Structure 1
Amino acid sequence: MIQSNTVLSRYTTILFLGVKSNTYIINGVINVLVQNTEKQQTNQIQNNSKTNKTMEKKPMFKKIPDSPEPDQLIDRAFKKARQEHNQKSKTKEIEKIHIAADLIKHELEKIVNKYPNFDQLPEFYYDLAATTIDIDKTKKTLASINWARNMMETIISKSHKKRKTKTDLEIRKEAYGRISSILREIEPDLKHLKQTRKKLRQIPQIKNMPTIVITGYPNVGKSTILSRITSSRPKIETYPFTTKNLEIGILEKNYVKYQVIDTPGLLDRPLHKRNNIEKKAIHALKHVADSIIHVIDPTGRCGYPEDKQEKLYQEIKQTFKKTPITKAYNKKDLHKKETKEGHSISAKTGEGIEKLLEETIKPIEIEKPWEKYQK
């Protein structure tokens, strides 16, 4: 704040270190007030709703609002201006500009605010977002929306200055024309964000807690294991690029809650049968899994011979090199095969499940991943 005894002289606008700035000379001292560029302003707005590098509790992509149609937004703004301005005011035409421009400004600001800061996304979400959308293009699109938002403020500001040379009615008509022109200019950007929102909302929301992933061929008993070890009905989350869903349940053990994820349609067949996009989506799970239970059906009743199941196990080990994996031979109630490694269990009867969980959780308890989630 400039004190009353301060002498303020000379005001100029310059480029300071490549950034537009205002220069004041106060008591003979040059002071530079840097004005943010549109890109910086976009980042500032997004930073207000930054997520930590851990996964937030609220679904980040579900909060993104739909992008309005330009003509519909124009109609809403002008209608509100007609209805809410003070008809007895001498400056009622200027008030209409304020009301219309403010509505549009807040609608556009809401879009920018609700998009996550992509550079701050947890790796799991970033990898899936990068596979799903063009992140660089989306950033540029958000910058365009922020430019339009700033232009609404400019239109309001200029409407007052023009009163010296034009009538209020002329100013209002000119402002309305400029508002309409700006919104139609960003119409392609709004359409892009509408499609981007649809794609991002398909990304599953994973809780910020220690996570166990269940893998194995179809029909080996993964969903039965999930239902048996978790306390509630599994939550269903869609996963990009597949026709299947993630099934997510919560396990509580030794006063610690674990997220357990079944992956039907994902980690249930060899990677060489996947296209590149599917592989990227699968690899994103590496950022989530703290431990893995790989299920094998030695009876072959699942429809896949045991040697194929063992090969998939080796592929999972290669894909998740840094993640501990516990092998579970299911359907113990239907066979008497002795296993040299892993655990023989029956998801149907519950036999061996408790010991399997102890082995699965042991490496997680040593690493204590919940400490990183609490940061």
Structure 2
Amino acid sequence: MSFGGPRWPQEPHQPDGGTGHDPYGQQPAGPYGQQQPQDPGAGPAPYGQGREPYGQQPQVPPYGPAREPFGQQPAAPFGTAADGTPDWSALAEASETRQRRRRWLIAGGGVLATAAIATVVAVAVVNGGSGGGTAPTASATTAVPGGAEVPTDGTGPQPSFSSVAPAPPADPMDFLATAAKDTAPLTPEGLFPGRKLTFGDRVYTKGATGSTTQCAGAGRDGLGAVLQRHGCSRVIRATYVRDGVAVTVGVALFADQGKALAAKEGARGGIAPLAGAGVGDFCRATVCLRRSNALGRYAYFTQAGFTDGRKVTTSDTAVFKTSDDLGAFAFNQIYARGRAQASAAATAPAGGQ
């Protein structure tokens, strides 16, 4: 589609350069009032001859239609070829032109109607804002679909925000510090799960596990007495073995963080090795590596040595690495208890509902 104004119908082009009909819309002159051809050798026609009498019709030649003057062809009606058949191409073009002009007129009318409506709305807005109306009050509102009203001057109800900062997320250590908050179930399998322990690229096989409330019997060479003196309530143990090195890790529970720290600081001797489940006695009548530490209300201890009874020396890095791995694992398991309880408290409904 091109723009720039409607195209008006054009006259069909004729082979002889004409337009196909009289430019003024006149029909070709009939025989009335025309001179009849004269014989070239005859003289002027007598007066009154050469014309049809007044009121009489011209004589039609006996054969064929009346002839036009020499060199002229009768004008064909618009859309009709010279041989009298309809010029379908010209008629189609004229019809298409009329349809195009009608579409342009409809489109132009729509634009004018839109402009008129916009003008009326603008005038109404200007008149509504003039001094002739009543000024809006402080509680002016704007109606929205559905019947609701939205304040337009900012004096309506406004969202309120609490000036009290939200409470920070619970600290896992808060739940590990005292027995009053550290109430999650505690079992040997929950603290030392599975049959194997993978720590980095090292895999340890778990041996025997145990739990006792007789803390004095869970220590050796004086550690049992220290645990009992500071109020130990329970000891959970587990043994792991790898490449001829065995280690027993023991976790002792106390009433609060202060008592667990005091037991760690006063520790002497070590946790009693726990044999069984494929692991024989170790660290008996020999030198082993003993360590102690504390986290919250938990004190944890390790004792590592060779399964064949050899003494541990400072050059036995495999024994030190085993003790480090199991100590770090115990720390992680205890801290995971505190984190789980803190997360549960953060998502619990208010008021314990």
Bigger radius of gyration: 2
Q: TM-score, normalised by structure 1?
A: 0.17
